[in-house]
Structure 1
């Protein structure tokens, strides 16, 4: 198959659109999850809290305003077909230009500092946190997932001993959930990476957040573990926005990868109730 040649400039307007859409429009999957959670919530205050989140999401979309003031770090995930060949300026440069335009034209808060110790704001929310993956085909699928500090700061990683197995994974996730309490702004989604190396595991946990709420892992072992962890989290009593109640998590998504014989890596990444993402394919 001949290569499909794309100029990297094509990603700029796409990412600009995705930034603004993600920040202002919670997708139908998230809004339906809110409505379902509101029906299931047993606490009066919890129900009121979820109803406010529903109204906030509807208002943000209608008025094209950010659904949360923390418009996050711009996580950009690109699935690039192996038959795509690039020309033009460096791809990373164009990704950042798309992010820059999206945050500036969308009047969105700029939250990135150029150096983690010197703490000087870049004033355009670049650079993006860019993840690329080579896949089959000749298309490019781009997902923008703005990641706010409240949820991102609560993530955790641990290398368990292999003998700790499934119970060890469950125990670690519940330990993290109880420790962070309401800080990740529940009801949230929990992304869990199991296996790989430390870096691979963390990326899997992040990417797991993209999966639609209600869609289980294709492997029955992990699908069952997702349901078990979800039930356990929703029995902690943390509740919506940490105010107490039944619905602490909207869903739990696990991705896994082969790992070394000596290790059982586990990463936990939270996505707050402002579960923002938007995707487009070129």
Structure 2
């Protein structure tokens, strides 16, 4: 692998991720603006103006450029497995360079001392989630997760007897009670099952899916559509001022669970639904996708 090429492309991708929005998210915001009126429409206009300025001037669309998180999916047939271990250092270098060059706001502080190293690097940060999948390529997903929406995340260890009805109640109640705090319209990720840590990780991975893209399984897809529809009838609206658009989408992922345990993880993403994707093919060629 050409680690220098990977690093430079990651810096480029990180910069692009905080200065623009993926097209599906942008389309959803524009559609929402056409459907809203009054204060809700004004809020959406301000969001779209921020995106326009960010794209035009190459500046972050929100001052909070988030905590850096990577999801790495490694193809089991990737030919250079011996070099996979070098990727983590490459990710760290890319974050440090992007912090200076984009620039990113330094967001990592020690939980006890409050000391900020100033480069978005720290213990377990950037956080990297490693998984394997079929194929001969490596997929690197970058998620700059803002603090305001992260503060609204929730884990509920639900009594299994509540079943699907309970899942719906928990998700909709959370969306209603957090009101405008996470800067809606939001994207809601829901992780069902597994253990407590698995549910929350699945929920965070769920928000990486493009807005409008449904789960492969029909039962889960139908649940996503129902929750989105019901959430948008809650009337929270853009930035909590009221309106028809409280969420841009709801995405679910699941894991099998213990019969006595039913974790429901909820991860909230603000309207600035930012991310980047870098693909490394079997020949080592690097492609940046937004």
Which TM bucket (shorter chain)?
over 0.9
Distance 1:122 1:88 in 2: 27
Tell me, in whole angstroms, the C-alpha distance in 2 between the residues paired with 1:159 and 1:89. 35
1:55 counterpart = 2:52: no
Render the CA deviation track for 1:234-271: whole Å, top value 9, x for unaligned. 12221101111111100000111111111111100011
- State how far apart, in whole Å, the 2-side matches of 1:242 and 1:132 are: 36
- Given that residues 74 and 128 in structure 1 are in contact (C-alpha distance below 8 angstroms), is that contact kept between their aligned partners in structure 2? yes
Bigger drift between 88-97 and 32-41 goes to 88-97
Aligned to 2:288: none
Deviations 1:211-238 (A, max 9, x none): 1111111222211211221122112221
For structure 1, the residue ranges without an aligned partner over 5 or more in a row are 1-5
Given the alignment, which residue of 230, 233, 250 partners 1:232? 230
- Could you give the per-residue CA deviations for residues 49-107 of structure 1, whole angstroms, max 9, x where no partner exists? 11121121122111111000000001111111123313387432221111111121111
Aligned to 2:9: 14
Equivalent runs, 1:146-225 vs 2, <5 Å: 146-225=144-223
- Written as runs of structure 1 = structure 2, the 5 A alignment for 1:65-214 is 65-84=59-78, 85-87=81-83, 90-113=86-109, 115-126=110-121, 127-214=125-212
**TM-score, normalised with respect to structure 1:** 0.93
Distance in 1, matches of 2:74 and 2:255, equals: 20
- Whole-angstrom CA distance in 2 between matches of 1:134 and 1:9: 23
Aligned to 1:3: none
Q: Is the 8 A contact 1:8 1:88 kept in 2?
A: no
Match of 1:26 among 21, 25, 47: 21
Distance 1:105 1:65, change over 3 A: same
Contact 1:19 1:103 in 2 (8 A): no
- For residue 256 of structure 2, give the secondary structure of its aligned residue in structure 1: strand
Cα distance between partner residues in 1 of 2:203 and 2:88 = 23
Contact 1:7 1:88 (8 Å CA) reproduced: no
- Give the CA RMSD over aligned residues: 1.5
Return the TM-score normalized by structure 2. 0.90
